[in-house]
Structure 1
């Protein structure tokens, strides 16, 4: 097998996979040889990758004994599979973007680091360091951070950290220079790469209660699993004339640019895309995210008055209805949020990472 310079590890959700794909494509476009290693679940979000992919088996541990046994088996087999792979291609550098699926390949990479001096790097997307990254940070060369004040990141490893931001496909086409008032109000409801059944139902039951002079102006785009499409249609078909329901959007930033506002979960990738596209947003953090990291992600913008936030448990109360009504109907409110987003400077993560990998 041909030797490669870079191995990129990722998997699981779009929040881990999409920035990994963005950086890997950046390498390929700059004539660097790299291979992307990820699990079957993560491959759903890697359709835009330009290079060679290797799919491994992985699963997360749970209270279900059979599921945990399956995860243990995959952990064991994936370790030996990636170890033999790495021994055959002897990569010079390995960069991991987190997720449970990267644990076995990182263990294998540590053996290459010991015998072949392979450099190992991590990237943490969230405001709270993930379990796999937290486990491996003592053994790696550097860790790149998306948030300056990453929670649960031990001070003794600060010297290894570099604030890079999130690898993205940043270009002038992805930036909203002006925010204008349209006759129709385009709303993008997004539950992240996995959709959000409960959030979508709660939101739609709020939206159909808005005054008719507002609902007549709405153009809804809803990200949801196809299994839930019929149930959501039953809720809105008699109230909203213009709507579409899709399971996933590969052109996510373009979708944001074409929307007047976003109501969404607050994964790190979504927060980053909101800053790039300057889309006024209301975040509803996933209430079961690990150590509540989605709330911390959202707070990065909320504390700058550059976004709104509502906890999912509060969606049924009158105060939340008023907040959503005002956000949708009040152009001036959304314009002020747009201006705050315009003042936030994004770093070029691709260039920062490549310049610090030696």
Structure 2
């Protein structure tokens, strides 16, 4: 029998594409073929994606209160769905797997229209709006967390907890054990804010470092991801303080930098939380505020409840608060080591293989006319 083709579809950000990439690797290892449908934002990430074919699908996010904007988004999603129907008929995938974000809506909708089985994967602790829209049409709903909120009532599809698939680069970095902070040793601080950095990190972290006693500043080694427009001022602040630092808009080797860190200050997207757990690193997590779903707050809580992370709402994320937390870690380095172990206790390293097995089982049951 020829190898089955699995069509993966994901929004064009790292948070959606990284778990799709991990599943693609697991499916390829199992002998399947893989195609990817995404949007034009994926160009920054798709170069390394192990797909036999990558197709760009028109999509838009129907947000805002402007009727013309909503109408334009609906039109784009309709266009994407028509293109997806044509694409699926041409490719004949055995299963369509969606990873969230509105670019997944047209392919998964199209799959349901022409009776191709589908899986949607929800990475966050609260189901996102795109996945909520698709939940009643999916054959299987896979989840990154054991308990998630926001799943519509009485969805017909089967729900299964797989964890969040992890890229090979992260699994490789996870082989590096946590290095205990030595007395008088350097504390390696990694500051990230999502795939494109976050302004709040640039606004808060350098002033927090400035508030540290000079002897503690001398013991810091900072790696910070900053938006391009914030980069010069962040660098200048650290130069003025005489702190050892590296600041860039993007780090291609971020998993390795996570592994080298004693402490991570970050947003709490699902991929970030999963990677912190698999690599086993303590963190101060600042959930993205203002989200309708509050998904990042739910993600952060999973590590906060274990003592693996300090969860700090952005309203409380001030230079004074961050400076105080860093000083406490310098004074009690054992807290870092315990938090690292707590983070690692939440890791699921075989989530990609679990999800691949769900997909392959669905193919088998569909071909045999059985329920999944």
Q: TM-score normalised to the size of structure 2?
A: 0.88
Could you tell me which runs of 5 or more consecutive residues in structure 2 were left unpaired when the two chains were aligned. 363-372
**Displacement of 1:339 after TM fit?**
2.4
Could you tell me which runs of 5 or more consecutive residues in structure 1 were left unpaired when the two chains were aligned. none
Residue 53 (structure 2) pairs with residue 55 (structure 1): no
Structure 2 distance, partners of 1:94, 1:33, is 12
Match of residue 282 from structure 1 = 284
Secondary structure of the equivalent of 2:294? helix
Secondary structure of the equivalent of 1:290? coil
Match of residue 343 from structure 1 = 345
**Displacement of 1:282 after TM fit?**
0.8
Secondary structure of the equivalent of 1:37? strand
Match of residue 193 from structure 1 = 195
User: Structure 1 90/303 Cα, relative in aligned 2: closer, same or farther at 3 Å?
Assistant: same
CA-to-aligned-CA distance 1:14-56 (integer Å, 9 cap, x gap): 2111101111122223331110111111332333212221122
Secondary structure of the equivalent of 1:45? helix
Map of 1:1-358 to 2, 5 A cutoff? 5-51=5-51, 52-63=53-64, 64=66, 67-113=69-115, 118-157=116-155, 160-169=158-167, 171=171, 173-182=173-182, 183-316=185-318, 318-328=320-330, 330-346=332-348, 348-357=350-359, 358=362
Structure 2 distance, partners of 1:72, 1:157, is 24
Structure 2 distance, partners of 1:72, 1:158, is 25
**Displacement of 1:70 after TM fit?**
4.1
Higher relative contact order (CA 8 A, sep 6+): 2
User: Structure 1 249/70 Cα, relative in aligned 2: closer, same or farther at 3 Å?
Assistant: farther
User: Structure 1 243/271 Cα, relative in aligned 2: closer, same or farther at 3 Å?
Assistant: same
CA-to-aligned-CA distance 1:53-105 (integer Å, 9 cap, x gap): 11223232333566445433321221221111111111110100010111112
User: Structure 1 26/242 Cα, relative in aligned 2: closer, same or farther at 3 Å?
Assistant: same
Alpha carbons 2:11, 2:103 under 8 Å: kept: yes
- C-alpha RMSD of the superposition: 2.3
Secondary structure of the equivalent of 1:237? helix
User: Structure 1 345/12 Cα, relative in aligned 2: closer, same or farther at 3 Å?
Assistant: closer
Structure 2 distance, partners of 1:65, 1:140, is 29
**Displacement of 1:173 after TM fit?**
4.5
CA-to-aligned-CA distance 1:109-132 (integer Å, 9 cap, x gap): 11221xxxx211110000000111
Structure 1 distance, partners of 2:250, 2:107, is 28
**Displacement of 1:253 after TM fit?**
1.8
